[in-house]
A and B are shown apart, each in its own frame.
Chain A
Amino acid sequence: MQHVFLITQSDPRSPASEAFRLVRANLKFSQVQGSFKTILITSTGPEEGKSTLAANLAVTMAQAGSTVLLVDCDLRRPRLHRTFKLKNRLGLTNVLIRAQLWNQAVQTTDIPGLSLIPSGPIPPNPSELLGSEPMQEFLESAASEYDAVVLDTPPVVAVSDALVLAPLVDGIILVVRAGKTRVDQIMEAKKLLENANGRIVGAVINAAKPNGKSYYYYHYYSSDGKER
């Protein structure tokens, strides 16, 4: 399992950080068609960069002066608490079973303006929990308190968690890993999300990790200069 790396925090000048900021900007432009505060991030399969995008997007938003709540909705393989070096004793699960008020599950990160609700203890029935009443309530109130709420979810094709959440959020971002994500699967995912009344804002392409341990690779998908 890859460790989620906050490049936007450690190296804001890197091309990658630049790309995350571009995502943020594009998202902001897309809001003309209707505001969306709650953003769900998913993909077709594991290891495609959902959590990385969620975390880094949240960081860039916070850096731009927004108040951002990052929610780890991956109740199967939660990772975000580790990214921000926080504890996962208490989290979303507790909120969803109404054992906790949601704002008590919020933890502040060392990035100003960015807060996190980790997954909490892993439940036996994540889909059901995520589709429950408390989740809807939590999202509504969180959206009213924060400028943006970013949800990290499990992949679409494997489990239905993201589909359950799709109608509850304002916008969905599909993460595509170049050279890994299959065309037929991503199309399937798109169809499923649309059928579930989800509103897909757009896709973010994650460049494939070069094979092997070589440090050499083409900046083939480099977004360098794409704005200039």
Chain B
Amino acid sequence: MGTNGIDASFARAVDEVDLRAYLEVLFKWKWVIALITAAAVLTSAVLSYLVITPTYEAKAVLMVTQPAPEKPASSQNQQGTGVESVVESVSRLPEMTISTYVSQLKNLSVLEEVVKALNLSAKGISAQSLEKMIQVAAIKDTNLIELKVQSTDPTLASQIANTLSQRFLDFISQTNKQQLSKSVEFLDTQAQTGEGKLEAAKKALRDFQMQPRGVTFLEKQLDARIQDLSKYKTRLVDLQVQREQLAAGKAELERLLAATPKTIKVNNPLSSQSASSTTSGNAQTGGSGSKLVTVGDYEEINPAYATAAQMLDDRTVRLAETDAELAAVQKMANQLEAEVEAISAELASKRLEQDRLQREVDRWEKTQDLLNDKIVETQIARSINFGDTSLLLVSPAAPPAKPIKPNPRLNMAVAAVLGLMVAVVLSFVMEMLDNTIRTADDVEKRLGLPVLGTVPFFKPAE
């Protein structure tokens, strides 16, 4: 049939044909594409230059001179965090971060004021529609705030920008003043109630101190008792030592007495044995100095014995006395000890109570000091015009010379790109919808007819 050669060549060229086909399509529709693009550009040009009323933008710049720290790190990590932070939070100015200012700039009440001031309602601008004309943005990494006002009237735009900034400054100082007044009021009432509490605490302390058997009294009493006790204790020790000595002496004497014969036999060596026995017996019966005059013997009372006996008696008496005294002193000491213990206990509890009352007084005093300081601070702050000190109008808005919208060049560029895209898409769509015969393949598939030949386009060379 002669068509096989054609098929083979088509199979070989399939990849190439793809890209080529696209280019072919674009080429085929190039006039349509050009026309649509041109039409789009022209339309946007006409709209930009002739139809759309130009919009002007006035720009004012505000500087935040005292931007609040983003989050105050707890500077004082002492015990003052409790009361102090509470008081701090009450008396603090509202924390105005830059973003707060940015959002506050569109505050409706301020806008209302601007509308009134410039008599914008005559121009048909309400506070709500005014808000749509305004753009506020913080300039990144600075403490500047840009206020942009868009309007079809350049002078009006700048007027609005300036009035709004001024009103906003006033608004800020006003709100701050209000806030501070409130704080002062609050702090005052706090201080008054605190004063009452302080007085009460002091009175309680005084009353306590004036009670009988107060701390000081008890302390003195305790001291006295302790001194007495120590005296008694030394006495007790002395007595014990004395008693030991006496007991030792007594034993010594008894031994001596036992060793000493009661009587001395004078020239009578016979009855020495019996005498000795008698002597011992005599000694046992208390050594009464009865002189036994035995017949046969001449005996005489031993003087050494008598002296020893005498001393022993004396010792015995003294020992008894000492024992009695010792018992008495011991009893006294015990009594004193008990007393000291009782007084100590009483003193401790009294002291505890006093300390508690003292602490109460200290606490209230501290609070009062703090409050008084804060009141003074806040009063000072109130007297300063915060609106002017925390915000500054850095550059007032001037009437813009050139409109910002429409931007004809940009619009036309966008239109060109869009038009081109639409046109290209459209041309491909047309191509898809186009159901004409293109290739030998089409003929063979669709018609089932052999292709006898494909004649390329040729131009008459006239």
Contacts and interface: CB of A to CB of B under 8 A. Distances in A.
A204 B453 contact: yes
Interface string B432-452: 001111111011001101111
Contact of B435 (A184, A219, A224): A184
B453 A209 contact: no
B18 to A, nearest CB: 13
Interface stretch (B42-50, B107-115, B454-462): B454-462
A186 B446 contact: yes
Interface in A72-103: none
B452 A176 contact: no
Interface in A99-136: none
B363 interface: no
A143 interface: no
A49 interface: yes
Contacts of B20: 218, 220
B456 A16 contact: yes
Interface stretch (A19-27, A62-70, A145-153, A161-169): A19-27
Given A211-B31, A220-B20, A5 B446 contact: no
A211 B33 CA distance: 13
Given A226-B9, A227-B5, A23 B453 contact: yes
B10 to A, nearest CB: 9
Contact of A186 (B9, B437, B440, B456): B437
Contact of B457 (A181, A182, A210): A210
- Main secondary structure on chain B at its contact with chain A? mixed
A5 B442 CA distance: 27
A176 B31 CA distance: 25
B2 A11 contact: no
Contact of A223 (B23, B447, B450, B454): B454
Contact of A225 (B9, B27, B28): B9
Given A14-B458, A204-B453, A25 B2 contact: yes
Contacts of A14: 458
A204 B456 CA distance: 11
A159 interface: no
B266 interface: no
Nearest to B5: A226
A211 B436 contact: no
B458 A16 contact: yes
Nearest to B17: A220
Residue picked from A181, A203, A208, most chain B C-beta under 10 Å: A203
B1 A29 contact: yes
Nearest to B6: A226
B447 A203 contact: yes
Interface string A8-19: 001100111001
Nearest to B7: A226
- Main secondary structure on chain A at its contact with chain B? mixed
A152 B438 CA distance: 23
B95 interface: no
A208 B28 CA distance: 10
B443 A203 contact: yes
Contact of B436 (A10, A30, A178, A203): A178
Contacts of A192: none
Contacts of B434: 179
A187 B449 CA distance: 10
B24 interface: yes
Contacts of B9: 225-226
B356 interface: no
Residue picked from B436, B450, B456, most chain A C-beta under 10 Å: B456
Interface string B1-32: 11001100100000000001001100110110
A174 interface: yes
A157 interface: no
A33 B37 CA distance: 55
Contacts of A200: 449
Contacts of A207: 454-457
Contact of B452 (A22, A190, A225): A22
A181 B452 contact: no
A99 B450 CA distance: 40
A5 B451 contact: no
Contacts of B447: 174, 186-187, 190, 203
A196 B455 CA distance: 28
Nearest to A2: B460
Contacts of A225: 9
A179 B438 contact: yes
Interface in A188-225: 190, 200-212, 217-225
Given A3-B460, A20-B453, A225-B9, A205 B437 contact: yes
B410 to A, nearest CB: 32
A147 to B, nearest CB: 18
B76 to A, nearest CB: 84
Contacts of B440: 205
Nearest to A201: B452
Given A20-B455, A179-B438, A220-B20, A205 B443 contact: yes
A62 B195 CA distance: 133
A46 B446 CA distance: 21
A203 B6 contact: no
A181 B437 contact: yes
Contacts of B436: 178-183
A53 interface: yes
Given A176-B437, A181-B436, A205-B451, 11 more contacts: A5-B460, A178-B436, A182-B435, A200-B449, A201-B450, A202-B450, A204-B455, A205-B453, A218-B23, A221-B456, A223-B453
**5 residue pairs, one from A and one from B, having the closest CB atoms:** A23-B453, A5-B460, A202-B450, A16-B458, A202-B452
16 contacts: A5-B458, A19-B456, A20-B455, A23-B453, A26-B452, A27-B452, A30-B450, A174-B447, A181-B436, A182-B435, A186-B437, A186-B446, A204-B454, A205-B451, A211-B31, A218-B27
